Structure 1
């Protein structure tokens, strides 16, 4: 029996192209001349300001190789029927995109929510902030409050007390239940608010009918988002300049500093499997060289190359798919905004989307496209029953981008209409010859709403806003409901020294009730993750398996020095505040009688000093008198 076996390198993931093309030949020629200015991610990702990867970039020093641009706003799409408009006029244009309120200012300025919903959302966000500090960051509330007071700061809210045991007990009963059950039954949030929290703040993408996230994980996701707001900018997301691949190259630079080697112009051709040990012993390169390796770290697209048996059915891996649309636009999807996120909750009445649709728009500020263009990524996980329905996939992407473009045009028209009315009112106030009573109704109508029927402006079609489009679906590895690396390796029948980089995009099955398990598909598309939190956890788990006991990306010397200076500064501030407080306490605690006695004693001493001086002056005068008599 052969001890070695050759495993050809072959990707089991495919890109299924649906449609691609330019608006016209002139646009094609113009864009090709600027092709080097486009940086289009096949799998676009953003970063939350509070996620673990950001901390690693800061402490390890990798962040000095990177630059970021802030995402300016998050929006949500709602049909008029979801907002209480029962029968919108047929053919009427309406704006279906609304700001997602996250901060206190946004909540109270929101036109999407009513007064009751605003109070409910504020109460929920305040709870999440307190819950995250005590149950996720595991900060002791009493110690935190004492430190805050010592620095002369007021407590954030009266809820920041260690006596919140009753509410904690109520929440604990929901932690292993579906997240939406907690929002509906405990916080009494409306359906609209639940969708905002789950899909826009929690960034989930699964259908509401299939509870694939627990309340524990939902609260953690919302806290990550809330904690990200205001850390670096007023919003939660950061976009790496030049695309998400810059993250990988920055870590490669750090690896090179510590002795990492890179072989250029020699791509991997095949692997050598030691059948006795069940390990990959070497890597064949395209230049004929063979590299010996103790461990192999690969992406999920090459998992099928490493099967240990020829049994196709036994080693078949479940693949999910993600539907993607990339659109180069001539104008932004929201007037005055360049980098935005738009979320469409699942099961929209117009799109019939089974999962949430996430739209990310970037601009020249993130170096994703040249000036004058905007790059829009549209993404949605595909259910298994949609895999072969290419027409349905294409129509979904078309209808989504069409609706968003029409909404942006309506928004622009509404803003322009308000400005026109304001200018008309200003004209009325400035007219000195005619009073409002002297003007006829037709005059007022003519000033306030000028007739445009005689000369209607030419309205371009919505498709004219699209300079280039590409619609496709890509395969991805279904995580199977666990992020445990060793369990993942055993389940996939891989060699013992092969480790798979994958994004865990579904919740562990053991957290769900049997009823919920029936609603969780085993081979369907996993929920889409737009940030990199689980990617970081996956990388850490692989490193700990390869190098047990070693620190994962330890702090750089500059980071340790900055942290020590910050700690010393805070300790000095606490010490100064404590000394000042002690002095004030000492003065306030002195008894009144002691103060009076001290005052009387000081006055007596002063009187005695005055009498002594008078006596000395008298003696001097007496001596002078005697001397003058003797001289006479």
Structure 2
């Protein structure tokens, strides 16, 4: 191991594996290590089910067994941090750019829903759905339809499409006011279509453009496969980091799992290598998740997640085998949204007849599990439930001087757009220039890669 590398990557979470692949494709010599025996880190998919039951964070013990009715443990792949891919989003573009699609097979997520007044409704994402939706009254449907048409036609570089909206100064709130949409429409547009975490975006100068781009992304993703804007890989999200790991290996990257003693070596405050098993590998920089260099991160909050095993789909979702439900903050008097995502045996992640539902939100009180109640109440009866709280860690150091480039913790959202933003930000901190997403061809996944 006593070699020189451009970068050593610690942790095989999705972010670290994407960065490893991007750096390898960019011609960098990479060594990638993990303290665990499996890929994925905090974002792993755990199999067999017995191993999931025995994870330390659930405190069920090392000899915990699974009920016989759940079938074979190896038929289960349980995501610790479940998220969906936007079909036209940044992660899919990264998969295409890097060629990782050849290692993966995707399936469309069947439904996208939003919570209002104790019920769930399909998210309307085009003019036709807007007019048919029971979310709104007749006159509101027309206003929302006009908003969607404007969003589709808006081009930041074409003043003829602006219609009094100034890309540099107009806020998202200005756009909503222009079309006269009500608070309810603003709520589901901002949270279930534009996928904002909270309402902080509303008053920011220039936020009008971002809002319209996000609405375009949602409808563009929906247009790809029709059922919803989301995709999910067969066999779980653990396939994603492994796909990027294979990519890195093809470009000369070296992988070492089961290195529990791996630690960063510093000289005069600068990372110069990593020591493990008594040997030191040298490098010009270290890329890591927050758990490998806690002194360079700060806790900014917590996320609570409940992983639930069910033997039925979520009620009132047309028996969808997979779906996302977003509960906007105002609907349940919170500061942040509650997210639900459901996958099933259709995705090869559990035994036939079973479903995995994950409810997550940002912690706001001293009783995190109780905060999930509005989401859990929508699920119906549960076969089992696993609740855990994770710290939200942000890097306090940009890495320019210390050469430690830390990623952020995973947030409560059930999509990968914020994950990709962090990956692209970290890549720019490492390389000193942005990753050129313009190189990514605007294309669909091949038909055999997405069902």
- Normalising by the residue count of structure 1, what TM-score does the alignment of the two structures yield? 0.55
1:341 aligns with 2:341: no
Could you say which residue in structure 2 is the equivalent of 1:496?
Answer: 402
Deviation at 1:365, TM superposition (A): 1.6
Question: Match of 2:305?
Answer: 324
Match of 2:415, SS state, is coil
Q: Indicate the larger mover: 533-542 or 355-364.
A: 533-542
Q: In the alignment, what sits opposite 1:281?
A: 272
2:117 is equivalent to residue 79 of structure 1 = yes
Specify which of 293, 296, 314 is matched with residue 286 of structure 2: 296
Q: 1:474, CA displacement in angstroms?
A: 0.6
Q: Between Structure 1 and Structure 2, which shows a larger proportion of helix residues?
A: 1
8 Å Cα contact 1:207-1:356 kept in structure 2: no
Q: Does 1:188 align with 2:211?
A: no
User: Of residues 404, 412, 420 in structure 2, which corresponds to 1:536?
Assistant: 420
Paired residues, what number? Answer: 388
For 2:78 and 2:245, the matched residues in 1 are separated by: 21
C-alpha offsets along residues 523-582 of structure 1, whole Å, 9 cap, x if unaligned? xxxx744322343343344444544579769979xx89x99xxxxxxxxxxxxxxxxxxx
Residues 235, 127 of structure 1: CA spacing in aligned structure 2 closer, same or farther, 3 A cutoff?
Answer: same
Q: How many angstroms does 1:18 deviate by?
A: 9.6
Correspondence list, 1:250-269, <5 A: 250-269=243-262
> CA shift at 1:290, angstroms?
1.6
Asked if the contact 1:59–1:554 (Cα under 8 Å) also holds between the matched residues in 2, the reply is no
Q: Deviations over 1:142-163 (max 9, x none)?
A: xxxxxxxxxxxxxxxxxxxx74
Pair 1:244 & 2:227 matched: no
Q: CA deviation at 1:209?
A: 11
Tell me what 2:338 maps to.
357
Question: Taking structure 1 as reference, are residues 64 and 340 closer, same or farther at Cα in structure 2, changes over 3 Å only?
Answer: same
The question of 1:205 aligning with 2:197 is answered: yes
User: 1:128 Cα shift?
Assistant: 0.8
Deviation of 1:472 after TM superposition, in Å, equals 1.7
Q: Decide whether the 8 Å contact of 1:70 with 1:235 is kept in 2.
A: yes
The runs of 5 or more residues in structure 1 that have no matched partner are 1-8, 81-95, 141-161, 307-315, 406-461, 481-486, 506-526, 564-632
Contact 2:265 2:272 in 1 (8 A): yes
| 8 A Cα contact 1:10 1:302, kept in partner | no
CA pair 212-288 structure 1, distance change in 2 beyond 3 A: farther
Of 97, 111, 120, 2:120 maps to 97
2:124 is paired with a residue whose SS is: coil
1:128 to 2:151 alignment: yes
The alignment partner of 1:318 has SS state of strand
Query: Which entry has the higher C-alpha Rg, 1 or 2?
Result: 1
Instruction: State how far apart, in whole Å, the 2-side matches of 1:269 and 1:18 are.
Output: 22
Q: 1:591-632: CA deviations, max 9, x gaps?
A: xxxxxxxxxxxxxxxxxxxxxxxxxxxxxxxxxxxxxxxxxx
What is the deviation of 1:178? 4.6
Name the structure with the higher strand share.
Answer: 2
Q: Which one of the candidate residues 146, 151, 171 is aligned to 2:165?
A: 171
The residue number in structure 1 matching 2:99 is: 61
Instruction: State the SS of the aligned residue for 1:259.
Output: coil
Q: CA deviation at 1:268?
A: 4.2
Q: Distance in 1 between matches of 2:327 and 2:363?
A: 15
In 2, Cα distance between equivalents of 1:376 and 1:466: 9
